[in-house]
Amino acid sequence: MANFVHWARDLNDTAGNAEFYPNVDKRALFRDGYIASQSGHSRGSTADLTLAQADGRELDMGTPFDFFSPKSWVADPSISAEAHANRMLLATAMRRRGFRGYDKEWWHFTLRGEPFPETYFDFPVK
């Protein structure tokens, strides 16, 4: 997480602009909720995931993972019906297993009743 925050704060590092935030000013990534200095990821309670076929091919979700744009919002009306159905399938499956989604990122889910809601861990995972 620390590397991601460092990258987001470095306004001169525009690598990934076309792929991850083509229509969002990098200066707005924190303000608009696309990136947080601290998040459930560093509490071990949040996961980013998608759906895939048995052969590993990812389903159409309307945007790539970590695409910072309103197109990544769960309820974005501009995506295809297939992508919308896939987002709803993922969200429903995660809700049934005790996770809540984040409305600005179709891939982001946090465990309800997380065990360490006020703790942010900072250690390497091996």
Q: Which CA distances in Å does 45 have to 3, 67, 101, 123?
A: 19, 21, 12, 15
Query: Is 105 among the residues known to form the active site?
Result: yes
Q: Of residues 19, 58, 82, 105, which has the active-site annotation? A: 105
Q: Are 35 and 82 in contact (CB under 8 A)?
A: no
* Residues 6+ away with beta carbon under 8 Å from 4: 35
Q: Indicate which residues carry an active-site annotation.
A: 105
